[in-house]
Structure 1
Amino acid sequence: MNGVLYPLAAVLAWAALAYRLGRGLRQDPRDPALYSVGAAFALLGIIFTVSTPAVWARIDHALAVPNLSLLISQSCVIAFSGTIQCIIIFWTHPRPGSWRRARLRIVWVVGVLVAMAALFTAAGRQDEHPTDAAATYAQDPVYAAYLGCYIAMVAVGFTDIVRLCLPYARAAGRVWLSRGLRLCAAGAGLGLLYCLVRAATLIEGQLGGDPRRLEALVPVFAALGAMLVIVGLTLPSFGPRLSRIGAWHAQRRAYRRMYPLWEAVTVTVPEVVLDPSAAGNRGVVRHVERRLRRRVVEIGDGIRQLRPYMSGDGDGAVSAERILAACLAHEAARRAGEDDEPQRRARWDAWLAARPATARRPPPADVPAADVDHEDFAAEVRWLVSVSRAMREAGIISEMGSRT
């Protein structure tokens, strides 16, 4: 498990570092939060790169210090915990006061790192164990003190992260910042479970039990917790882009779904089309919002010209049938006036021939209109999409078709 989850977490951390620094240096190179986030990603990258068994063994062999990678990775976990606290302080406090709060965390972290280094050195040399060094030496009193110091500091740090994240997530005011803080809190929660497993390792070792009993859970809680924190730290940055992508997709889908209604209106009243060269383009990718607004305007202008032949609005299905009926009536009136546009007539005839015929009668005139606020663009789009969807399935009423 270490050889799979740890490299995956390392790749994610280094990728997040490259993304955050590349974007942050262009926007505001003096922002202290940028360097705190960068440091957190770098520390995670080091933690999971060093903890990968193959890398662990190579580092220890090159430096001739067995299990030195244990000290490196766990020291980075301590530093990471303190860095995350500093990031949250920068996010949730004004800049002048945030530095003072952050310095207290930094001093505390440095003190714990010095104590851990001293205990590791006092423990002496041991055999190499790339995947379970902590469990293997949990019975050694000096290693137990070292491990206890590590667990206590990490647990305090992760508890502080949860304590800082959750209240500010509710009051953040920015959707993606709030979501990022919640994900950081969830990742820290998995970190606390990791601490519980490591505490069980320590207790089992000191009581003569099997300290490896829960070792399989360590990479799961550590790697998944780190991944949640990585995503949480990057959400405030790339989250708004996801919103824009979602809005683009929704607008493009609405644009495409309006086509049956737009076609019926514009084949009957072609003069409402603002840009005939782009008419009927359903594979739109660029300028989607502008094209959607243009399509809404064209449909609205066309329906206004068809109003004299309509009995009122209704829900999607009712409005679709009324608009179809109005198209037929408008065309009949147009041809009665000796319309001499053969190209337009041919296009309208082709559209009519492509529609299915049905024997249903038109809806009664007293069907209540749909409760749509046409001043609200989003509501207007939803209503037009519902009408267009109904129109795609509706047929031309045979009794009306006979009039043309």
Structure 2
Amino acid sequence: MINVLFSGTALVLLAFAAYWVRGRGGHRPTGAWAMAALLTSFALAFASYSPIVERAVESVVPHVARLLSNTFTLAAATSVLAFMFQLNLEADRARQQIRLRVIALALAVTGMSVFFTAEQLTHRSPVLYACYVLIYITYLGYTAKDFLQQTWAQSKRSRRRSQRIGLRVTSAGCAFALVYAGYKVFALVSIGLGLGLIPDHARCSTALTPARCAFSVTAPALAVLLITVGLTVPALLWPISRLRARRWERSSFAALEPLWNDLTAVVPEVVLDPTDATPGARAADLDFHLHRRVIEINDAVLALRPYRSLQVQKSAIGTVARRGKADTSEGGAEVEAAVLSAAVTAKRSGSTPQDEEAPPAAGTHTRKGDLHAETAWLLLVAHAYLRHRSPQRAEPIDLGTAAGS
């Protein structure tokens, strides 16, 4: 069972590494190579934990599986820092910091190899083993602590929900790495003082037995899995989130069309360069064209200010209040739709401007600059507008952007 667990996990991690190297959506994101190195190192570490691999390599060099797994773990820790540096630092400074970490990794692995070899030649001297563990745990503990602080702080600043969750899962993985580091320190003290609290020759039959295996095997395994999932799942979810965003953009663009048609029919001057809105361009740049449609609607609303009837607004407010929708977004959209419908009718019929203009809808200034919030508001208005629309509908003007998605 444990062979299947570790071997299967190693294969999954290698698949994740290939996914990062290949890139997504035609581009390779920042830190892709560092992430691939991290996942590959984790995969090799998991493979070295597998009893079948451990027996195979130790048939050549006794006890070398420990050195291999520890080396791959340190390589993964260095890759984690490299990934973080590439995200948080300028390119030149990131390269400098990564170079220093790689040098430190080489020194640590060299020191571990020297003490491992000396330990084997001296019949597994406890003192030499303690020196080996000291190098390993110092490097690993420092890296895990630093990365835990960085990921937790970034999780509080991140705007994407999937990224916040991923970073916090990664932080949990770092916490398990620190548990593992704490266990190694405990083992080091036991060996250094000759207390014999950690059996050196006992093998793990499962991930939890004997009890020390929960710290020596399960904790690092969970650390690897949580860090991998935390860093990779948000990237896997990115294409899904983009697909959902494009569907929302497409449906919003189409839903705003009736309101946009009527407003631009009476104030066509607000349309921004209709000649470049070909169907192919619209399909490729939905966010741009939705943004432009929202701007044009808002500009048309401003242009119709002289025709906004205060009387119509007060009447609509009373109607909304009787329906129990006062002080709600839906109620506000109903009022605004009634005012806009009357303004469009007045402008189209050539009526004189109102003596008393109706004030802008509530929240107009707070939504300024927030495309998502402004679009959500206009969708409510557009939906309500269809109920207030004049029976004599204006023909849409001949613009490339007048067509739906």
TM class by shorter chain equals: 0.5 to 0.7
Question: Structure 1 residues 200 and 213 mapped into 2: Cα distance closer, same or farther (>3 Å)?
Answer: farther
Counterpart in 2 of 1:160?
A: 142
- Per-residue CA deviations over 1:89-126 (Å, capped at 9, x if unaligned) read 78765655764565344223311222124434655xxx
- Contact 2:308–2:343 (Cα < 8 Å) also in 1: yes
Following the alignment from structure 2 to structure 1, what is the Cα–Cα distance between the partners of residues 72 and 183?
Answer: 19
Matched, 1:110 2:100: no
Following the alignment from structure 1 to structure 2, what is the Cα–Cα distance between the partners of residues 208 and 197?
Answer: 10
- Per-residue CA deviations over 1:117-153 (Å, capped at 9, x if unaligned) read 4434655xxxxxxxxxxxxxxxxxx486676455433
Matched, 1:388 2:375: no
Matched, 1:14 2:22: no
- Contact 1:116–1:149 (Cα < 8 Å) also in 2: no
User: Cα offset for 1:161?
Assistant: 1.0
- Contact 2:38–2:80 (Cα < 8 Å) also in 1: yes
Counterpart in 1 of 2:338?
A: 321
Following the alignment from structure 1 to structure 2, what is the Cα–Cα distance between the partners of residues 94 and 260?
Answer: 46
- Contact 1:119–1:143 (Cα < 8 Å) also in 2: yes
Question: Structure 1 residues 252 and 181 mapped into 2: Cα distance closer, same or farther (>3 Å)?
Answer: closer
Question: Structure 1 residues 157 and 367 mapped into 2: Cα distance closer, same or farther (>3 Å)?
Answer: same
- Contact 1:56–1:69 (Cα < 8 Å) also in 2: yes
Secondary structure in 2 matching 1:290: helix
Following the alignment from structure 1 to structure 2, what is the Cα–Cα distance between the partners of residues 219 and 43?
Answer: 16
Following the alignment from structure 2 to structure 1, what is the Cα–Cα distance between the partners of residues 387 and 97?
Answer: 71
Q: Which amino acid in structure 1 is aligned with residue 13 of structure 2?
A: A
Question: Structure 1 residues 297 and 122 mapped into 2: Cα distance closer, same or farther (>3 Å)?
Answer: same
Following the alignment from structure 2 to structure 1, what is the Cα–Cα distance between the partners of residues 291 and 82?
Answer: 45
- Contact 1:13–1:42 (Cα < 8 Å) also in 2: yes
Question: Structure 1 residues 154 and 371 mapped into 2: Cα distance closer, same or farther (>3 Å)?
Answer: same
Following the alignment from structure 1 to structure 2, what is the Cα–Cα distance between the partners of residues 297 and 191?
Answer: 50
Secondary structure in 2 matching 1:206: coil
- Contact 1:188–1:229 (Cα < 8 Å) also in 2: yes
Superposition pairs of residues 77-92 of structure 1, within 5 angstroms: 77-81=73-77
Counterpart in 1 of 2:196?
A: 206
User: Cα offset for 1:388?
Assistant: 2.2
Following the alignment from structure 2 to structure 1, what is the Cα–Cα distance between the partners of residues 263 and 75?
Answer: 70
Any stretches of 5+ residues in structure 1 without a counterpart?
Answer: 124-141, 337-363
Question: Structure 1 residues 83 and 296 mapped into 2: Cα distance closer, same or farther (>3 Å)?
Answer: closer
Superposition pairs of residues 25-40 of structure 1, within 5 angstroms: 39-40=37-38
Following the alignment from structure 1 to structure 2, what is the Cα–Cα distance between the partners of residues 41 and 74?
Answer: 15
Counterpart in 1 of 2:290?
A: 292
Matched, 1:253 2:248: yes
- Per-residue CA deviations over 1:252-294 (Å, capped at 9, x if unaligned) read 5255236444313415755858489979x9xx86311222133
Question: Structure 1 residues 257 and 40 mapped into 2: Cα distance closer, same or farther (>3 Å)?
Answer: closer
Counterpart in 1 of 2:398?
A: none
Question: Structure 1 residues 289 and 69 mapped into 2: Cα distance closer, same or farther (>3 Å)?
Answer: same
Q: Which amino acid in structure 2 is aligned with residue 159 of structure 1?
A: G
Matched, 1:215 2:213: yes
Question: Structure 1 residues 192 and 147 mapped into 2: Cα distance closer, same or farther (>3 Å)?
Answer: farther
Following the alignment from structure 2 to structure 1, what is the Cα–Cα distance between the partners of residues 198 and 291?
Answer: 73
Q: Matched residue pairs, number? A: 339
TM-score (norm 1): 0.59
User: Cα offset for 1:49?
Assistant: 1.8
Question: Structure 1 residues 395 and 375 mapped into 2: Cα distance closer, same or farther (>3 Å)?
Answer: closer
Question: Structure 1 residues 197 and 84 mapped into 2: Cα distance closer, same or farther (>3 Å)?
Answer: same
Q: Which amino acid in structure 1 is aligned with residue 113 of structure 2?
A: L
User: Cα offset for 1:48?
Assistant: 0.9
TM-score (norm 2): 0.59
Following the alignment from structure 2 to structure 1, what is the Cα–Cα distance between the partners of residues 5 and 101?
Answer: 34
Counterpart in 2 of 1:52?
A: 50
Counterpart in 2 of 1:43?
A: 41
Counterpart in 2 of 1:69?
A: 65
Q: Which amino acid in structure 2 is aligned with residue 194 of structure 1?
A: Y
Q: Which amino acid in structure 2 is aligned with residue 227 of structure 1?
A: L
Counterpart in 1 of 2:370?
A: 378
Root-mean-square deviation (CA), in Å? 5.5
Secondary structure in 1 matching 2:361: coil
Equivalent of residue 188 in structure 1, options 171, 174, 180: 174
Question: Structure 1 residues 371 and 165 mapped into 2: Cα distance closer, same or farther (>3 Å)?
Answer: same
Matched, 1:262 2:251: no
User: Cα offset for 1:366?
Assistant: 5.5
- Contact 1:266–1:302 (Cα < 8 Å) also in 2: no
- Per-residue CA deviations over 1:153-194 (Å, capped at 9, x if unaligned) read 3431222114544666669xx969x98998766533311212
Any stretches of 5+ residues in structure 2 without a counterpart?
Answer: 203-208, 318-331, 393-405
User: Cα offset for 1:17?
Assistant: 3.6
Q: Which amino acid in structure 1 is aligned with residue 106 of structure 2?
A: I
Counterpart in 2 of 1:350?
A: none
User: Cα offset for 1:248?
Assistant: 7.3
Following the alignment from structure 1 to structure 2, what is the Cα–Cα distance between the partners of residues 72 and 104?
Answer: 17
Question: Structure 1 residues 44 and 97 mapped into 2: Cα distance closer, same or farther (>3 Å)?
Answer: closer
- Per-residue CA deviations over 1:181-214 (Å, capped at 9, x if unaligned) read 9876653331121234456678599248898124
